């Protein structure tokens, strides 16, 4: 489990197709200047790491990097299939019992892809509007929570299949929002509570 509070920005260092090219090995450089990533060598092999909202398993670890394998299913259902060397990655280590829950409960299981519609400066922040598939839109509610590329955000408004959020300068500076632009795809994870409430409604 994660909280959607990004603790560092990583960078894709290397990409290696595996087998028939359906799976992929990714090497991600970690920001050693950030306390949570000062010495990645302490990370246990097999540990879960949220990479732009996608929970991946560390299969190899170095002092300032770690490697993961992404399956064809993951590559086809998330933005990982479009990553290239140099792509920026939002990183978060898993939640420990007793840790502060600063965002909301995030599983690292991407539900689908959304797209950036617009980014408009609004006072001291930026209003971002995203569009999601119809099947996901029903799970997103005003003042509810949603994870966008692994970042826990509060929904301001919802209109059809579009929703808006405000991003303050600090969030933009420490996440991949600084490099996003209209048309870009993003990983969307709906709120776990919304998922189960909707499921229960099917049996009423």
The pLDDT assigned to 119 comes to: 96
Q: What local confidence, expressed as pLDDT, does residue 19 receive?
A: 78
Alpha helices in the chain (DSSP H): 72-77, 134-137, 169-174, 192-201
Q: Tell me if the domain spanning 8-92 has CATH number 2.120.10.30.
A: no
Q: According to the model, what pLDDT value does residue 183 have? A: 97
Q: Residue 58 is encoded by which pair of tokens?
A: 């560390």
pLDDT confidence of residue 190: 94
**What pLDDT sits at residue 122?**
92
**Dist. CA 84–CA 14, nearest whole Å:** 8
Q: What is the mean pLDDT of each run of 10 residues along the chain (204 residues)?
A: 92 91 92 77 85 96 93 94 96 82 86 97 95 94 95 96 96 93 96 77 74
pLDDT value of residue 170: 92
| CB neighbour list of residue 191: distance below 8 Å, 6 or more residues apart | 104, 139, 144, 145, 146
Query: Does pTM top 0.75 for this prediction?
Result: yes
Task: Quickly name the fold that domain 112-201 has.
Answer: Elongation Factor Tu (Ef-tu); domain 3 (2.40.30)
Which residues fall within 8 angstroms of residue 131, CB to CB, at 6 or more apart? 114, 115, 117, 161, 162
Residue extent(s) of CATH 2.40.30.20 domains in the chain = 8-92, 112-201
């Amino acid at each position: 489990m994660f909280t959607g509070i990004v603790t560092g920005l990583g960078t894709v260092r290397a990409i290696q197709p595996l087998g028939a090219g359906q799976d992929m090995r990714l090497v991600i450089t970690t920001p050693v200047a950030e306390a949570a990533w000062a010495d990645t060598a302490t990370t246990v092999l097999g540990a879960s790491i949220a990479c732009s909202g996608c929970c991946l398993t560390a299969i190899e670890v170095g002092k300032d990097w770690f490697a993961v394998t992404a399956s064809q299913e993951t590559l086809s259902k998330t933005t990982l299939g479009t990553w290239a060397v140099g792509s920026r990655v939002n990183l978060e280590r898993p939640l420990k019992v007793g840790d502060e829950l600063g965002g909301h409960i995030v599983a690292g299981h991407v539900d689908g892809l959304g797209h950036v519609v617009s980014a408009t400066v609004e006072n001291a922040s930026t209003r971002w509007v995203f569009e999601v598939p119809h099947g996901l839109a029903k799970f997103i509610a005003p003042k509810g929570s949603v994870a966008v590329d692994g970042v826990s955000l509060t929904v301001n408004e919802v209109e059809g299949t579009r929703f808006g959020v405000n991003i303050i300068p600090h969030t933009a500076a420490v996440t991949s929002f600084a490099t996003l632009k209209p048309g870009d795809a993003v990983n969307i994870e709906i709120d776990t509570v919304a998922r189960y409430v909707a499921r229960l409604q099917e049996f009423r």
